[in-house]
Amino acid sequence: MTRPAGSGPARTPRPRRRRRLRGAAGVVVVLVVWALLTETGVLDTQNLPTIPAVLSALGDSATDILASLGTTLEAMFIGLVVATCGSRSASPRSWSPTTSARRSISATASW
């Protein structure tokens, strides 16, 4: 299908796909090399555990990780609410970074 003249540049999704494919291939290569080096005994599993051992440990601690993530998101949300409510009571002039910089300079200069 041809595009009408003047309709803008044609979209080329191929470079994006290639980048994603290269990224995925890089991850696969690292995992394969890791598996080969640990399973053949080239690397000691005391220093670098096998992939199944890492996945098992991750599965064992999944509930702790999710609980910590929930606590972090809750604290972030509370902080966002406090910051939003607190900023509404302040004047819009105090939001400017240049205003706060001028205040700190003038306070230092008058000292």
10-residue mean pLDDT profile of the chain (111 residues): values are 60 78 94 93 90 93 94 94 70 55 56 52
User: Is 52 inside any structural domain?
Assistant: yes
Neighbours of 38 (CB within 10 A): 20
Q: In total, how many domains does the chain have? A: 1
- Give the residue from 61, 30, 65, 64 showing the smallest Cα distance to 48: 30
Please check whether residue 54 lies inside any domain of the structure.
yes
Question: Is 2 inside a domain boundary?
Answer: no
Task: Say which residues have a Cβ less than 8 Å from residue 31's Cβ, sequence separation at least 6.
Answer: 51
Identify the pLDDT of residue 108.
56
In a domain, 93, yes or no: no
Q: Which two tokens stand for residue 44?
A: 């000691």
Q: In the chain, count of helices (H) and strands (E)?
A: 4, 0
Identify the pLDDT of residue 62: 92
Tell me which residue range forms the domain holding 68.
18-88
**Cβ neighbours of residue 39 closer than 8 Å, sequence gap 6 or more:** 50
In a domain, 50, yes or no: yes
Q: Write out the H or E segment, with its range, that includes residue 25.
A: helix 14-39
- Asked if residue 76 is part of any domain, the answer here is yes
Its pTM stands at 0.49
